């Protein structure tokens, strides 16, 4: 019996690896909708202030106003968890952009949580993050506008029933936020279609000319959040016309060491526990891991020593991936090997992704910062220094 069959037989919902934020944090969204009774832009589920609180969390528990009814299953007092680790001012600018009905473009290096931020904003503003188009060199204009159910089209001719709306068109009709991932990977004609959507806020359906469905107009609340990768120039450069339709916001790496360490710990713990294993990764290993990623990313050690940066992106997302792998190895092969001994091999795998020559830069990091710390008496860094031969394997 398959997993799906088992769940169907018991009446339970099928298990999912990733739950969208509008479901994962449904109780928080309901609480915030009742908590903040301030002005909301047309079509918004929450006030702009509540959207920021949803992403950044609350420093202390919030209470519903006196006389306000608590949504079913929601307490009257709640602490909102922080979900995005970054500058509050950045999130506030993003929210103001969306409230002004202007497209929002999140740009940055890979692994800086651009997609996560766009999901959180879409979930808080319109209650869904699912209206998404993944930009690729193969993305077509139909995926931004509409297509057809060709069986119905051949049988009945053009009709609203035969029309298959894109996620963007669905967002326009609902007054929701549409997300376009990796917009710079889309071909010029697809980008041009996005220009007209952002400018005219409507989609023409010439095949339905003469009917009330020949034009689909954007309902209040409709907007677009796009993301773009600074390292990937994409299939084509964004046109000046498309750039003018967006406000650009750069999502940078996490600036604070402790904040990044906490994020790597919590995200890797969640991934390991989702696999059904116990999280046993020592904080010392996590500290070394995050330190190495931050120093290779910035090109400078905590002591101020210069470090040659690899060309690959040493992102927080990659650090989480490595921490998860170490956590799983510790859980599934307990006692076989010290997880610290596995770290050099995983770091080599990360830095060699884009350019095999980066392996020499990792060796340079070992011969510089790792060796100097070992010589200064750190037992942990001495262990790492003794593992240098792994990097040459």
Secondary structure element (H or E) that encloses residue 84, with its range: none
Burial class (CB in 10 A: 0-12, 13-18, 19+), 134: middle
Q: What is residue 6's predicted lDDT score, i.e. its pLDDT?
A: 42
Q: Which pLDDT belongs to residue 337?
A: 74
Output the pLDDT for position 2.
Answer: 37
Residue tagged 């936020």 (tokens): 177
Rounded to whole angstroms, how far apart are CA atoms 255 and 83? 16
Whether the predicted pLDDT of 4 surpasses 50: no
Using one digit for the tens of pLDDT, what is the confidence trace for 146-178? Answer: 999 999 999 989 999 999 999 999 999 999 999
Query: Is the Cβ–Cβ distance between 91 and 117 less than 8 Å?
Result: yes
Average pLDDT along the chain: 91
Confidence of residue 11 (pLDDT cuts 50, 70, 90): low
Q: Give the residue among 261, 263, 282, 260 at the shortest CA–CA distance from 271.
A: 263
Do residues 133 and 181 lie in contact, with contact meaning Cβ atoms separated by under 8 Å? yes
Q: Which of 61, 33, 63, 69 is nearest to 49 (CA)?
A: 33
Structural element, H or E, at residue 63:
strand 62-63
Percent residues over pLDDT 90 in the chain: 75
Residue 113: what pLDDT?
A: 93
Half-sphere exposure of 276 (CA within 13 A, CB side): 1
> Whole-angstrom Cα distance, residue 137 to residue 30?
39
Q: pLDDT tens for residues 294-338? A: 999 999 999 999 999 999 889 999 999 999 999 999 999 987 778
The residue ranges of DSSP E strands in 274-333, in sequence order, are none
- What are the DSSP E strand ranges found in 155-204? 163-165, 177-181, 202-204
When pLDDT is cut at 50, 70 and 90, the band that residue 3 belongs to is: very low
pLDDT tens, position by position, 243-286 = 999 999 999 999 999 999 999 999 999 999 988 899 999 999 99
Which pLDDT does position 238 carry in this prediction?
A: 84
Q: What residues have CB less than 8 Å from 379, skipping those under 6 apart? A: none
The per-residue pLDDT for range 174-222, each reduced to its tens digit, is 999 999 999 998 988 889 889 989 999 999 999 999 888 889 999 999 9
């Amino acid at each position: 019996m398959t997993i799906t069959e088992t769940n169907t037989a018991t009446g339970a919902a099928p298990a999912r690896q990733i739950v969208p934020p509008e479901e994962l944090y449904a109780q928080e969204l309901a609480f915030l909708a009742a908590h903040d009774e301030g002005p909301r832009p047309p079509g918004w589920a929450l006030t702009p202030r509540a959207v920021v609180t949803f992403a950044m969390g609350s420093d202390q528990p919030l209470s519903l106003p006196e006389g306000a009814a608590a949504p079913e299953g929601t307490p009257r007092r709640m602490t909102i968890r922080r979900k995005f680790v970054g500058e509050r001012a950045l999130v506030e600018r993003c929210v103001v952009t969306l409230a002004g009905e202007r497209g929002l473009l999140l740009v940055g290096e890979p692994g800086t949580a651009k997609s996560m931020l766009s999901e959180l904003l879409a979930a808080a503003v319109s209650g869904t993050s699912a209206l998404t188009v993944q930009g690729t060199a193969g993305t077509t204009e139909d995926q931004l506008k509409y297509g057809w159910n060709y069986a119905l089209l051949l049988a009945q001719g053009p009709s609203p029933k035969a029309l298959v709306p894109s996620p963007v068109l669905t967002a326009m009709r609902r007054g929701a936020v549409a997300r376009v991932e990796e917009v710079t990977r889309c071909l010029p004609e697809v980008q041009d279609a996005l220009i007209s959507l952002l400018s005219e806020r409507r989609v023409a359906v010439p095949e339905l000319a003469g009917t009330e469905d020949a034009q689909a107009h954007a309902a209040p609340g409709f907007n677009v959040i796009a993301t773009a990768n600074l390292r990937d120039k994409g299939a084509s450069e964004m046109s000046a016309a498309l750039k003018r339709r967006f406000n650009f916001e750069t999502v940078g790496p996490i600036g604070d060491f402790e904040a990044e360490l906490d994020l790597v710990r919590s995200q890797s713990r969640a991934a390991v526990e989702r696999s059904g294993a116990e999280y046993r990764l020592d904080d010392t290993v996590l500290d070394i891991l995050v330190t190495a990623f931050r120093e290779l990313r910035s090109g400078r050690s905590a002591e101020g020593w210069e470090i040659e940066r690899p060309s690959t992106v040493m992102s927080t997302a990659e650090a989480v991936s490595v921490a998860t792998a170490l956590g799983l190895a510790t859980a599934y092969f307990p006692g076989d090997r010290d997880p610290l001994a596995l770290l050099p091999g995983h770091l080599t795998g990360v830095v060699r992704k884009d350019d095999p020559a980066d392996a020499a830069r990792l060796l340079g990091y070992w011969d510089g910062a790792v060796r100097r710390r070992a010589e200064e008496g750190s037992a942990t860094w001495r262990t790492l220094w003794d593992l240098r031969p792994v990097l040459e394997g």
